[in-house]
Structure formats: structure tokens, C-alpha cells
Amino acid sequence: MSKCTCLLPEVSIENTDGHLGVHVHLRFRQSPETQSVDTSTRIKVGKSRSRWRKQIDERYRRLWRACTTKPADGRDSNFTPLNLRHFQYNHKHRMFYCGVEKSGSTFWRRLLQQIDKGVIISPYNIRPENGLLNYRNLVNETLDELDDILKFSVKFMVVRDPYTRLLSGYIDKLFSPNVYFWDSIGEHIVRMVRPNATMKSKTCGHDVTFLEFVKYVIKSQTTGEKKDSHFMPAFEICNPCKVKFDIISHMETFKYDVRYILETFNLRSYLSVIDGSSYNMINDTIYDIAQAFVSMRTDIRRCVDVHTALLRIWKKLQIKGIVSLDTPCPFTKAEVFDLTLDSMISVIRKAFDSASLNALKSQRKSLFLQYYSQIPLDVLRKLAYVFQNDFDYFGYEQYPKVLFKRAGTE
């Protein structure tokens, strides 16, 4: 197709006096193929200066203060394959998303599938294990195409407190029975940080402690060896200063931010399918945990007794605040291979329904502190250092007293 000189709209978001405003500018460009903008799908931003808009604006201002005042740290370099694998783009809605593992990425990748298809159906209709089936990233885009996407889109990402995110990653990928991560990361950690490890530990990677995991994260981020995006800083995954993100969502305010983002893209019709998101999220988590165990229970036998693995699953549910510590695992050794997915889900759901939500929340916090109390302060300071950009750019506390103030220390 021959090139033509075309008028292309350039969409930008400006922050003036606390208000996000969408501005459309026209520019001439030689383009081999250009589609006119459908004004009915033009991105809209709400008019009211709500409390939540102020919160979003403050995150935006913080990011840009850091981007313009801190040393570059390589942030202006070209996008890496890692970045491009985590970028998604919806052309119709000019919607650019960078997904960070353990920060709502499974939810957003499923919701974006529904938006791409134009179907107003809950993202939870797609099972977690199928969340990546139709995932399309930007690895194959040319630099010119990527440049246009960034100029013509509204860009958002979701971040999470690094300490919470790392513990979640450890529990999901290494403490919980997960043959893939035991093989790919667990074995490496044991060989790297554990002196006199047994041959079983070195060939299974099934018994990595949280302290060993933290040491691995520090070393992998320091040396670049055997890094995994589940445990890497969000700053490194998304390169926010180069992308120039417009909206920084926090997992800690997830349901409010999801609503804000959908309204920003004029996708209010999807608000109905995310109603009751807390209830759906719990059911989704329970299904995901149970399904993973049922699908892996045969493979894990070479490393762990299956009932022992099931006890870890129960502990994981307690750490996540789904099952009370006062509720013992009801499954016996004799029934582990006869246990069906539906029956396992039913038992877990009953345990959740019978517990106090306030007690579960308190329990989740208590177990979080319990895990981090195992980490010596000198190691914890090193961890804080390697995640410094996430703290500085996204507004999380680098040295929270709840983790760093201990008896006998200043």
C-alpha cells in the first residue's frame, strides 16, 4: 500500500489544577495505513473533581516528580523484551496496559480479553488458568508502531506494596505446591544460598524458606542472574518514565481504581460485571488454589507427600486470609487422591463463610509480620534497597516501622 499524507489525532492527558483533561491535537504524518478515529469511542474523563481523582492525580504527580528529578538509572534506555512482553494495547479504546505479576494482572488480562471481544461478561467467567490463552503483547511491534501506540493511547499500570507482593509471590510459587516453579526457580535458590543442601532439595526445589527466597531476590536483582518477573520491581517491568503512564493504580485500592479506569475509557457498561468484585475475587482465588492442587497432585509426589502438600495449601489459605487458623485441615491422607475439585472448593468456601472477616483480616496481617520477622534486619535493608525505585516512584514506604522497628534495635 502506498504512503499517504494523513491527519492523525494525537491524544494526550494533561494535569491542570488537579484535573485530568483529554486533548486531541492534529498532526501530519506519512503513514502507509491509517484509520480515522471513531469519535464515539474517544476516551472520556469524568468532569467532577472527586476525592478519588485527587488520589489518582497525586500518584501521577509523584511519578513525574521522581521521573524528572531522580538520576536516570537507565530508565531512558530502549524498551527491553521484558517490557514488551508485559505491554498490552486495545486499539479501539486507545487503551495501553502494563501488567505486573502479583498486582492484579490476571484480573486485568481477562477483563481486557472481554473488552477486546466487545462482550460485556465478567472477567471471572474466564478461569485463572486460561487467563493467558488469548494474551497478545507488543513484542512484535516495530519501533514506529510502538511510538504511535504510546502517543495515541491513555496508559495505565497497577502496582502493589513490594513487601506484600513478594510474600504473595513466594507463597504462590514456592511454598505452595508448584512443580513448574520448584523446577525453574526453587532448585536454583537451594543451590545458590543453601550450604550442604541435600540432593533431594537440589533436584526438587520444594522446600525453599522465605529467608532463602529473599536472599535469592536480592542476588538476582543485584547480579541479573535468574531473574523472574513475578519477583522483579514493577519499575523494571513497565519502565514508567519512558512510557509516561497517565494512571497509576494501586492494588490496595483495587476496586475503586478499576471503576476509575473503566470510566476513564468510557467503559461504564463493564461496571455491572465487576459488581460484587470482592465476593467474586474470593471465589476466584479459592478455585485457583484448589484447581492448581488437583492438577499437580500426581506430579508433586516425586518431591512431597501429597497430604503434606495439601497441608501447605491449607496454610496458604490461612496466609491469604481465607481460612481461619482455628480451622484445621479437614482432609485426611486416605482421601487426597479421591478429592474432587468441586468438593475441595465447597469445603474451603464453607470454612471462609464461617469465619469472621475482621478476624481473617487481622490474621492476614499477623502472618505477614510473622514471615518478615524471620528476615534479619541487614537482609531486609538490602531488599529495601533493590526495590528502592518502586518505593520512590509509586509512593510506598521503604522502611515501615512495623517491619524494621524490632526489640533491641534503634
Q: What is the DSSP string of 129-175?
A: GGTTTT---STT--HHHHHHHHHSSEEEEEE--HHHHHHHHHIIIII
Classify residue 17: in a domain, yes or no: yes
Rg for the chain, CA atoms, rounded = 23
What is the C-alpha to C-alpha distance for residues 156 and 257, in angstroms, rounded to an integer? Answer: 11
pLDDT at site 24: 34
Residue 192's contacts (CB-CB under 8 Å, 6 or more residues apart) are 215, 216, 219, 226
Instruction: Please give the model's pTM, rounded to 2 decimal places.
Output: 0.86
Is residue 46 pLDDT above 70, yes or no?
Answer: no
pLDDT at site 407: 61
Say which DSSP state 335 is in.
G
Angle among Cα 124, 126, 131 to the nearest 5 degrees reads: 110
What are 310's three cell numbers? 495439601
Is residue 291 pLDDT above 50, yes or no?
Answer: yes
pLDDT at site 132: 80
Is residue 130 pLDDT above 80, yes or no?
Answer: yes
**Identity of residue 356:** S
Is residue 76 pLDDT above 70, yes or no?
Answer: no
Across 5-9, 127-131, 334-338, 351-355, the highest mean pLDDT is recorded for 351-355
Is residue 12 pLDDT above 60, yes or no?
Answer: no
pLDDT averaged over every residue in the chain: 86
Task: Average the pLDDT over 362-387 and give the result.
Answer: 97
pLDDT at site 51: 74
Task: Average the pLDDT over 367-383 and give the result.
Answer: 97
pLDDT at site 344: 97
Task: Average the pLDDT over 307-327 and give the result.
Answer: 97
pLDDT at site 2: 41
Classify residue 68: in a domain, yes or no: no
Classify residue 9: in a domain, yes or no: yes
pLDDT at site 195: 93
Q: Which of these, 370, 315, 360, 142, lies nearest to 307 by C-alpha position?
A: 315
Classify residue 385: in a domain, yes or no: no
In percent, the amount of the chain with pLDDT more than 70 equals: 85
Task: Average the pLDDT over 331-355 and give the result.
Answer: 95
Classify residue 25: in a domain, yes or no: yes
Classify residue 20: in a domain, yes or no: yes
pLDDT at site 75: 52
Is residue 242 pLDDT above 90, yes or no?
Answer: yes
Is residue 23 pLDDT above 80, yes or no?
Answer: no
Classify residue 2: in a domain, yes or no: yes
Classify residue 11: in a domain, yes or no: yes
What is the C-alpha to C-alpha distance for residues 124 and 205, in angstroms, rounded to an integer? Answer: 32
- Domain ranges, residue 24: 1-36
> Which of 30-39, 65-74, 120-129, 327-336 has the least mean pLDDT?
30-39
Please state the domain count of the chain: 1
Q: Which residues lie across from 310 on neighbouring strands?
A: none
- Residue 110 or 2, more confident: 110
Task: Average the pLDDT over 38-45 and give the result.
Answer: 36
